[in-house]
Structure 1
């Protein structure tokens, strides 16, 4: 794998970026600014053999080559491909010059200060700007969450925190997760686990979930939902990393229908903790403030044309929910916020109509692209789906008035 990544990086120095498959753009529309919020690429599971995963099954979990939570080598390769593809789209849209490094002040890279997000940004830059001196910004203290990327509660009001707990509890009760829990019971041999013998939780379908909202901390839960999410996260990462099928969930996930059943639990966890209005508006506050600042007063000409933020699925989920994005599907993906995917906040100018416009796209790789690790290009582009916001009604091409989008921002 190390030879492979060296070959990828060496090859990028001599090849042009390839284009992301873009949606329809009417004649006369010019992209003037874009801010991208990305999720890090493939990492080892956050829960490792010495923690929750060891308690939920008697079976041995496969080993990873990097510590828990760290970006893997394959994750770096995939992010290099993504950087190259996104840069090709930026060249195509005229925000970057072809065969040249970005002009000073034209690109700003900003990552959360964890290994997986900083490394993701570094590999993205290697793919997008090979051989160029493009600075990466992050806070000095590594291993701690940057407040801009920390999806924590800010509100000190006890009523607001109680409202958040009520909202999370209500959302969890709406989820239809029994099929996923039953499948996990079988895969894990859950009734023989430490969770059963020590914690008296022997059937995930019968576990209760409790939620908490504390100032300065992320939304949290305890119970079947949290356990299920940790386990399915590990299985999903094994699949993306390219583990042999016999080693993924010990060979007990046999078809796409089962993957989708399990994904409902993982998506339900994120939906419950980060997307209810009572939660999202608060925990996304710092991230949205930064995004708002990046788009402030573009008429002065001082706004950075291309900004890239490297954070987490919780950032993307809470930001989209806080902005009241309409429901969406990502073809070829089971996750609502896929590994390595990014959302693009785009400011366009309709040169013929004299209008400023907004479009929001989700750029991502399918689960098969991630597993196969194949190079992205014109024949194998990352996917692009245009999202819409309730308060910014879009036309047939996904564009809405910039003035409407600005009203949505805090």
Structure 2
């Protein structure tokens, strides 16, 4: 009987391998990948200077100093992103998007936000995908890019009164929100609060406040979200446990337990539709133009096989809000945007019919894979969530959505008044 079961298992394994081979051949025969537009968050960094000030003030104690300057990409972060870039380069070569070796002219265009952590992340992705090729990283002159730093330009700035009203409407019963999140706040308090210090920030009622510049924040929640983000980044950085919440966090699930505070901060910040329409429309429009480029459409975006934009979680949050796209990846909370994660638009063509499709998804590494610098492979794949609507189809290439109807759906929340012309350096 045991021998029979072993033989049956072998037959099933061989049949599965054969089916997998046939499935791959079918996908290669029927669908062809033509273009990729990717919006990536920067990799792992220490807290920004402003965040450090706020979390140290709230907890009345200094937080760990990292090996890099506050807000800058770390060496560990570079390595993690380079691993991702290496996997993407190999993956897209296997799919026929690129040939072996260095990219040809027109194969790839990379644009980074002007900040160090985004520029260094873009370099890490390029070095991983195309090692030794010296792929150019493009950026605008100065410190503000109209695609990413949208609060610096008149057309994409929010109107203060409208912004405040939109946040209040989204917040609803703020006290009820705070009560629902008290378990996460208590877990964070146990991790970071010195019992001898004033830790009233964890129980003080939240308030919606608006600064002189019109920016709206949730007093109380914002600083706790900064703490949760700093601890998540510290876990991903593989900080010694003694330096991570003073030894009070030793497992990834303890990070997961405090991430609902970060989700709540997203909900009442960049995920507010009015905010996203004013500050995210220009970026989502550029991504949609990029993925349609040279498919019977001519736009100002680079006509390249892989358009890679490297920015911030705030940018991804606003774009996904306009798309009506949300996700919950294993080990994270709803809508979480880990370091090095990315929102991807792929354009595929059915070779038989000529019809074009969009494959839209969000991808990230797990908390532990980032901490271990785990290379991506079949055993350790990227976590992924796909966007879809009723007319999409499940294929061997993924969930493919008819291009015209997908673009209409993804464009429905754009504020055309907030979309201004964008120039692309050295293109």
Change (3 A) 1:329 1:336: same
Alignment of 1:368-383 (within 5 A): 368-383=368-383
TM superposition shift of 1:282:
1.9
TM-score normalised to structure 1 length? 0.82
Q: What is the aligned partner in structure 2 of residue 8 from structure 1? A: none
TM superposition shift of 1:222:
4.3
TM superposition shift of 1:354:
2.8
Q: What is the aligned partner in structure 1 of residue 191 from structure 2? A: 187
Q: What is the aligned partner in structure 2 of residue 243 from structure 1? A: 239
Q: What is the aligned partner in structure 1 of residue 65 from structure 2? A: 63
Q: What is the aligned partner in structure 1 of residue 9 from structure 2? A: none
Q: What is the aligned partner in structure 2 of residue 79 from structure 1? A: 81
CA contact (8 A) 1:167 1:278 kept: no
TM superposition shift of 1:316:
1.0
CA distance in 2, matches of 1:333, 1:136: 31
Alignment of 1:36-51 (within 5 A): 36-47=38-49, 51=53
TM superposition shift of 1:399:
1.3
CA contact (8 A) 1:155 1:161 kept: no
CA distance in 2, matches of 1:316, 1:34: 16
Aligned residue pairs total: 374
Structure whose CA Rg is larger: 2
TM superposition shift of 1:172:
5.4
Structure 1, 355-364 or 308-317: larger mean CA deviation: 355-364
Change (3 A) 1:186 1:340: same
Q: What is the aligned partner in structure 1 of residue 204 from structure 2? A: 206
Change (3 A) 1:328 1:88: same
CA contact (8 A) 2:35 2:304 kept: yes
Please give the per-residue CA displacement for 1:241-289, whole angstroms capped at 9, x wherever unaligned: 1112232111223555532221000121122201132222222122123
Q: What is the aligned partner in structure 1 of residue 344 from structure 2? A: 344
Q: What is the aligned partner in structure 2 of residue 148 from structure 1? A: 147
CA distance in 1, matches of 2:91, 2:308: 14
CA distance in 1, matches of 2:187, 2:355: 52
CA distance in 2, matches of 1:113, 1:281: 22
Q: What is the aligned partner in structure 1 of residue 36 from structure 2? A: 34
Please give the per-residue CA displacement for 1:112-155, whole angstroms capped at 9, x wherever unaligned: 000000000011111111121322110122xx331211253836
CA distance in 2, matches of 1:292, 1:213: 33
Query: Higher helix fraction: Structure 1 or Structure 2?
Result: 2
> Within the alignment, does 1:88 sit opposite 2:90 as a pair?
yes
Structure 1, 305-314 or 161-170: larger mean CA deviation: 161-170
CA distance in 2, matches of 1:39, 1:27: 33
TM-score normalised to structure 2 length? 0.79
Match of 2:135, SS?
coil
Match of 2:328, SS?
coil
Please give the per-residue CA displacement for 1:347-394, whole angstroms capped at 9, x wherever unaligned: 111112331111112221111100111333344333333233x5x742
Change (3 A) 1:158 1:58: closer
CA contact (8 A) 1:107 1:306 kept: yes
CA contact (8 A) 2:37 2:345 kept: yes
Change (3 A) 1:112 1:203: closer
Match of 1:67, SS?
coil
Structure 1, 344-353 or 184-193: larger mean CA deviation: 184-193
Match of 2:277, SS?
helix
Q: What is the aligned partner in structure 2 of residue 19 from structure 1? A: none
Q: What is the aligned partner in structure 1 of residue 228 from structure 2? A: 232
> Within the alignment, does 1:293 sit opposite 2:289 as a pair?
yes
> Within the alignment, does 1:331 sit opposite 2:330 as a pair?
yes
Structure 2: stretches of 5+ with no match in the other structure: 1-23, 415-427
CA contact (8 A) 1:43 1:75 kept: yes
CA contact (8 A) 1:28 1:350 kept: yes
CA distance in 1, matches of 2:68, 2:289: 36
TM superposition shift of 1:52:
1.5
> Within the alignment, does 1:109 sit opposite 2:105 as a pair?
no
CA contact (8 A) 2:259 2:332 kept: no
TM superposition shift of 1:323:
1.2
TM superposition shift of 1:173:
5.6
Structure 1: stretches of 5+ with no match in the other structure: 1-21
TM superposition shift of 1:225:
0.8
Match of 2:385, SS?
strand
Change (3 A) 1:203 1:363: closer
Match of 2:200, SS?
coil
Structure 1, 61-70 or 370-379: larger mean CA deviation: 370-379
TM superposition shift of 1:312:
0.7
Alignment of 1:358-369 (within 5 A): 358-369=358-369
CA contact (8 A) 2:338 2:364 kept: yes
- Runs (4+) of structure 1 exceeding 6 A deviation are none
TM superposition shift of 1:192:
4.9
